[in-house]
Amino acid sequence: MEGPDRNDMQGMLRYGYGRQKYAYYLMLSINDPQAARTWLSQTTFQSAAQSPDTHCCNLAFSASGLQKLGLTDLEALGFSRAFIEGMDTDHRNRTLGDFDHNAASRWEWGNREDNGLHLLLMIFARTPKELKTVYQQHKNAFLAHGLSEQHRIHAQYLQNAKGHYLEHFGFRDGLSQPEMHGTGRIAPPDHMVNPGEFVLGYPNAYEKLPHSPLDQERNLDLGKNGSYLVFRQLEQDVALFWQTLLDRSQATAADPSPAIELAAKMVGRKPGGEPLVVHPPQQANDFRFYEQDPLGRHCPLGSHIRRANPRDSKSKGDQSKNFDAAVRVANRHRILRRGRPYGLPVAESLQLEDIIAACLAGEVQGERGLNFVCFNTDIDRQFEFVQHTWANNPKFGGLYNDVDPIIGVQREKGRMVPTQFEVPDYPVRKRYHKLPAFTRVRGGSYFFLPGLNAIQMIATQFKG
Ligand code: HEM
């Protein structure tokens, strides 16, 4: 199968930019469309041809950004409905769980009032110093072209002494990723998917070309080698997470291991990333759930990773032994994650024991969380499905009243209610009731990340 064109695709679709640990996400507003077009033509955005050695940047557009640049009828051009309507609509607030403490009206950026959010410029650098210098260079250039900075989010990979990437609760992150056929990259077979799941212009999981924007009259293929970027800034309450888990597991400061075990059950992996089900040595992602652990006694049915990618899990009542078919179905809802933490870690050492000790000592200050970023070509079927139908679903996998313990929200009679988490066990299961939400949405938006040729089409072929 033909893989996406690496010379045209922006680098983020292929690389996590592990060497570029430090990043700024800049939300820019276009004040002078003609000057902004010049800036688009003059700025170099990193392609996926090779992994960059030094700093680099990538660019995505919001729907209002494209309109400001003269792509007035996005629907006629074939942009996705979710992208055009945006993340903050009444319908999406309900499905994504953006109410009460997650309410879009409380977001710092990206809600329906945030009309000036036109561009997302992402700058990546190897050191804080390099990031500052490159940021200043970009700033001089974009200010000179009538672009103003509405919002800036700093992000940095949290890399421990072993070189592993962590999220703020202290777990290894970025482990399970799908790989695209045709790119030359190999993953266990269950994780190989068609490129059209993440890159527009190539066959998707249905062997069909995904809906993709095109100016038919002028034969401008705006979608080719592009993707939709989902951004959710998720605050993590690390102190609440560990204090609650210590309390509920009756762990002590001297021996926090029961709390760590419960946290691992919630995530679905141990803090070091080892899966809770048996897996081939050295292959931390080559495993299935249902075949090995149908009742969730090792990896709970409601854990974060089992909900976010149920792999071979089948719907209730499906007695067939066709696990491959179940994997194929689950793979229609994969996302390519490119998130990065923001805020300072609770413990500089990034050692789990130190994180927990700081939480217990009440020494946690400041805000931190995950800049959740993912790519997909069908926001509805991929990101929104995962958040709504899997993470926020109290009846997921035959469960009774749980939601995803990390990102799920539950609503009753129009209000958010504390959730529960079930750990199947023998002879009796354990239920943890009245769990608070450990994460909170601080901002979010849908963007379009075009191929490099399409950026030039946007810069030169539209007026307004
Ligand atoms: C602060 C919020 C979040 C935290 C702390 C978090 C943490 C984690 C961790 C520790 C893993 C396991 C390591 C790995 O496979 O990379 C993981 C996996 C995953 N997460 Fe999250 N996550 C968060 C938000 C989200 C959101 C919003 C989504 C999508 C709606 C999501 C989707 C996934 C997926 C698809 C996987 C891989 C599952 C697999 O294939 O095994 N996560 N997450």
Q: What's the CA gap between 88 and 64, in Å, rounded?
A: 13
Measure the CA–CA gap between 144 and 99, rounded to whole angstroms: 39
Of 1 and 154, the one with more pLDDT:
154
Pocket test for ligand 1, best of 165, 169, 173 (most atoms within 8 A of CB): 173
Tens digit of each residue's pLDDT (9 = 90 or more) over 232-268: 999 999 999 999 999 999 999 999 999 999 999 999 9
pLDDT tens-digit map of 318-375: 777 789 999 999 999 999 999 999 999 999 999 999 999 999 999 899 999 999 999 9
Mean pLDDT of 194-206: 98
Q: What is the pTM (predicted TM-score) of this model?
A: 0.97
The protein residue with its alpha carbon nearest to ligand 1, atom 18, reads 305
| Ligand 1 centroid from CA 49, angstroms | 27
Summarize pLDDT for 28-68 with one digit per residue, the tens.
999 999 999 999 999 999 999 999 999 999 999 999 999 99
CA of 304 to the centre of ligand 1 (A): 7
Task: Tell me the residue ranges of DSSP E strands in 6-61.
Answer: 22-30, 56-61
Structural contact between residues 300 and 421, judged by C-beta atoms closer than 8 angstroms? yes
The ligand 1 atom at the shortest distance from the C-alpha of residue 169 is 5
User: Can you tell me the mean pLDDT for 206-224?
Assistant: 97
**Ligand 1 atom at shortest distance from the alpha carbon of 176:** 15
Q: Can you give the pLDDT at residue 316?
A: 65
Q: Convert 257-295 into a string of H (helix), E (strand) and C (coil).
A: HHHHHHHHHHHCECCCCCECCCCCCCCCCCCCCCCCCCC
Q: Which of 130-134, 242-246, 280-284, 336-340 has the lowest mean pLDDT?
A: 280-284
Return the structure tokens found at 15. Answer: 């690389």
Residue 68: which H helix or E strand, with range? helix 63-68
Dist. CA 176–CA 183, nearest whole Å: 17
